[in-house]
Each structure stands twice: as C-alpha cells, then as structure tokens.
A and B are shown apart, each in its own frame.
Chain A
C-alpha cells in the first residue's frame, strides 16, 4: 500500500499569491495513499529539502510529491533529497503549480482547483512508479572540435593540455578562421596573427592533437561518451600549402591529405566552433549591392589594413589613397525588416579600431562613422572609443545612411545626424560597411547533423542562456564562440574555455552515469515484429536470439541498448503487443494520470467553484 508524502511550496508569494496553498495540501491530504501533506515557504531551501528527507524516514514513505515550480528547475534537487531520506530518487515526482499555474492564472478558485488537479496527477503517477537505478556507460575520452578558428583552437588547446586526445576538423584549407584575416585587435591594437601564433604553436606541439584541414564532419552517430564521427577530407592543392598560419608557426608544417579520404573517429564529446559569416553585400540594393567601386565590407578593409602595414593604405579600385572614408555601422543589424533583428555586437568596436588604424596609415585623412548607439561595454572599450573621437578626430554621426551612390569619382553618402537634426551628404573616397554578423553558412546543416537546436537565424542554441551558456540540450555536445551568438575574440576565448571545461568535466571519469528513464522490452511478450526498430531514432533496438538448452534458435526478440536509448518512447507507442514500456512514463503511470484528471474528482472541491478562469 502506497504511503505518499506531499509537500506544497509557497515559493514566497510566487505560488501562494494566487494559489490557496493550504487548500491544496488540505484536500490532497484526504487523497487515498497520501499519508502526509504540508506546505512550506521555500521547499528548495535547505530546511525544505531537510523536511522531505526527514519525513521519508519518520513516515516510512514509499513516494514523494513536491508541488512547486517546474521540474526542469528542482526535480533533481528533490530527488537527491529523497535519496538522503533513504527513498529511491525515482519515487519522487513534482507537480508544476508555478510556471503552469500560479504565474499564468489570476488569483481565483479555478487556479487553486487546477493546482489541486496537477498535484493529484503527480500523486497518482508516483503510486505507479518503480525504483530505478542510474545506468553507467563508458566514456571515450577524445574530443572532436569542429572549426579551427580562435574558438576551436582554444577548445582544442585546453582539452589537449588536460591530457586528452583532440580531433580538430577545419572546413577550409587554413586554420585561424576569421581571426587570421584580421589586422589588429581592439582595444589592445595588436596584430591579430601575433596573438594566434603562440596558441597555434602550442596546440600543434601537443602530440595528442590531430588537425584535419579541408575536412568536414559528414555524419555523427552514437551518444554522449560514445560518438562515432565520419570525417571527409578533400585533397589539398599545392596552392594552399604554405599559405597557412599553421605552416608559419609549425616548422615541419601540417601534413596534408593528398587524396580524398574518409575516416571514422570515435569520440566522447563534440564541440562545434563553426564561427560566423557576414551578411551578403550583394543583397543590399541601397548600398549598391556590391556594384559600386570602393564600397568595401569590413573584412575586405581588414585585409587592406593588414597588407598596408607600415606602408600607405591604397584603395583596391585605382590604388589611390582614400582621403575621406565613411564607416557605416549596423548594416542589416538591428534591422528586422530587411536584415537581422539582433545587434552584431562587435561592429562598434572594430569600426572604431579600423578608423584609428586608417588614420595611422593616412594621417591627413578624415574618418566618419555613422552609428545608432555606440556599444562599447567591454573592458577599456569606452575609453577606446573616446580616443578614436578625440585623438584621431573621427567624426561620429548618430544616424543611419539611406543611400550610397557613385558620382564623379567619389562615393556619395546620404545620411542623417539626428543630434543636430540635419541631413548630411559626404562625398567619400571609400565606404566601409559593418555588415551584420550571421551564422556561418551551413550552420543549420551542422545543427541537424549534431542534433542540437538553432534559433531562427541559425545560431546554435545553448541549454540555458544564463546558467548553461556553453552546453546544448544534447549531452556531450558543447558550443564554443560565435556560432552561439555574435561575440568578440576575448569573449570567444572565454566561451571556448568554458566549453573545454565541460569536456574536461565529462572526461574526468571513465564512466558516466545516465538517467535510467529509458525503454525496455518484455521478451516474454515481444512477438519479434521489430516495428520498434524501424521507428527508434537512436538505433537502440537490437535483435536478441533466444535459444534452448541445446542452443537451438527458438525465437528472435527485440531488446534495448541501455547506452543508446534516449527514452523517447516511440517504440512503446508503436509496439502492438504492448511488450515495450518506458520507465518513468509507463502506460500504467500515464493512464492513472489521465484518470486523476477525471471530472469525477471535482466532487472533492466545493461545488460553488466556477469551472475555469477567464484569462487575463
């Protein structure tokens, strides 16, 4: 006979403000199988958890229900509390009466009634729960890093220094990504390649790092700790050899595939660090769609700055020195109508940097910057911008540019200065566009390949924006750098190291404990139709042969690979004989939950109550 303890959380006023917590506890106290019901201010607090553990011991509970916030937040907390009290953690369920109830409904009887029903559902579920024990699976302590830009390099470096094998895959023929193409970094004003060099040198000096350029991951199977990646490598041309920063720093160079090849690598973790691209200039008609000479993208300008180091900066069209250069920020950023709604974050700073470097190259030149807001929130950034404006005489104009057109050898810019309230026209020698930062081309394919989420734009989605910024919703796959959101180099490096620490954490033990909420198949019932095998997305269904004493094959039935099964339950829904079931979501649990929602229970709440809320 079940002995269930119920704990209803007030969560300060978060729940108690709209739900009559006392009534929830009161009514459920009468529910069959419930032997203990109480309310408390903060169940998640140490004393709250202590209550749970204590009551389990005192009341010899066989199950616990905590009616509080979303299980996404505290299920683990309370399951551990139950363990402390000597109860199998999987005999604990939560009823979400905050996110799904108190926060979304006004204060009225219907809200309390809903809270009561949700709690009852949890109680009924626990009655049909079974004790479960976590599954231990081995971890292959080798990491696959996709993308050898600064973020990828940093992840690889940290993992290698942690003593683990690294497979670093780069789509291009060279490593270093965009950073290798930049002139200098802000606000330090140091040659970008000088910063990249030592990292690369150290990375390649580790003999547990395997760098594959010209390569792409074409398939990924398996699961956390036990992935299998298929990597396709293009043959590299002689032209490519030597171009690479890697050759610069690494005396014996990087060995390159001469013929196309495909390899399969077993890894325990995967870190996509696939970086970013910029919005195509071709699709910006009002700025000439790339047809106007001397209208450059910021990356093209970086190239100019890098190559003109020490010398004079000359524009590509006619080799003339541009005396007046207009920089335009937020091109297709913060522009939900024509481009990207988000802010590309780094443009303000690199534009200021480019303007300053330009002035260094062309001391008598004049730089203009069109901006909407100057976003200089990083360390030393504000001071950097002030230097640009005050010491380098860069003229900042607050406003967008509506049109650019060529006119007798000049590029005429029509913009506004919203501070003086005037429209301005600048005949410039060159225009530099800070194009929106977009996800790298093919980002969505990578997302699909790895089975991680991506937002509407194609930036890969982190598990939680605040507290899990480098993890994905798929165990064993972590994010690094600008593929998650636009960020500058420093932030990329920190973010990458963050991803690396998750890898090191995962690799710190040879085994990983997995949630036991997975499917199992009753061999006694299984008819061996293997429909389940067809639908299983994680290829977890295997064939098991049943033989008699003499080894004669009697039957083949389906069985579940604990390591692979992710517990989606597709097989259960598909199985016609009802041999399959899903721990934590068994048929008996679910049917009892549905019955708990039956209208007949409403008799337990007072009859005057209107049935439901009217929204707000």
Chain B
C-alpha cells in the first residue's frame, strides 16, 4: 500500500534518523511512504483563539496540496504535525465560518498563483503511522514480520500530549488509557512496563523558553521511567525526544541518584525489530546512547 507522507520540519532536520527509520521500517512492511512534493510548515501550534484564523492557513494549505496530489490520506510520523493538521482538518469539517474564511484566504492565494481552486471541505484524512500499523497493517502481521524480536527489552511507552488530545478531535486512542503504543511494542516483542507518566506533558517548547522549569518536569518523567527499571523510553514526538533525551546530561548534573535512560523513537525500535539496513540509524544523535543496552539486553 502507498501513502502520501508529510515529514515536517524536525524530521528532516535534527531528527532525520527517526524519519529514515520510519520510511525504511514502513517499506519493510510494504507500506510505501511517498514524500509530499514541496511541502510547507504545518504551523507547529494549533491556533487556540477564535481570532487567529491565520494560524489555520499553513495546515489547511498543506491539506489542500495533499488533495492536489490525488491522495485521500496524508501520513505523518510527528505528533506536532499530526495534531495541527488533524485539528485544522477537524475545524474545516465542523466549523462553518472558519471553513469559509480559510477557504477565502486560500482561494485568493491560489488564484494569484494562477491555479484554480475549489473549496476544501476536509476531504483528506490525516493519519499517523501508528494508526496505519494498527488498523491497516495490523499488529499481528507486524509480529509475523518481526525477524529480531526485542525480547526482554524493558520499554517504558511514552505518548506525551499531542498524539492523543483533544480526544474529541484526534480520537486516535483513549486520552487517559491509550494502548496503541503498548500494543505495537508488544508486537515487537518488547517487555512493556506500566508507565504511569506516559500521558504527561514533556514540557514542550518550554525546553527552549524556560529550560530550567522544563528540565524539572522532564526529569520527573525520565526518573520515574528509570526507577521503574526501564531499559528504554519509547517516544512518538521529536520534541519529547529532545526534552527527555538531549537534556539528560543536565539532569545527571542537577539531580543526584539519577540513572540515565536511552530514549528511542518508536520508528527506531520498529526498524530494529524488522532488521532494516544499518545506515538508517545514527546513534550518535542520541544524547544517551541506546546501543549498550540494546546489545546487552536486546541482543543487537
């Protein structure tokens, strides 16, 4: 099967290893990810006030272009993109006036560019790779294709916020008791632990604007995972990866008795389990190197 793929800014930049693993792993499962031609920024944050209609232009434009490519679905790997695109789509589908206004903007834009434009009503479906693996591929068939089960690798699943909330608009899984990530990791043979902090916020952009506060918050999460004996903390959002992985050195300095835990993107674990070619991984990008634990426990 084939999907139109929207990588988003971070997955082609600081987190491009996550992206490569994602593509490779998907290919291994006969899911072809066709990158969307000249895609633009998703908008990063969904506008939360009624007056900021402009904030919808970027994501909706992306959706309109996706429609232009003749695909019914647009696939993402990044929670930010997924959240913004999906909520924008929801707004277009369910809020008449916003649909009208946003279409007016875009029509104007397209016409100026000499393209014809017909009103976008949310025809495109925004999907996340996890959804595809769960609903289309099916976890049992994933298990079937796993050649290197990550047995006795104790993994703490971490969702963060944007993949699940708001439940009414995203609806990928139960916002408080999600299972999709556990199920995937289970399918890969991992030993999934019950991780209470899996739906807490990683601190998001505060990691940049208020690093100290963000650090305390993300420390709480990582530390709990390590106390619960996790070998790996599995994440689904590049920003989570940043807050939880790249700042562990600081945590180590700030908090005594802190044991570091490697943080891995779900696509990395997927790739490992499917034994896709080595060059997709770039472990050096991890602040906490997962290799040692992978070798000792995961037998890699």
Any A–B CB pair closer than 8 Å = no
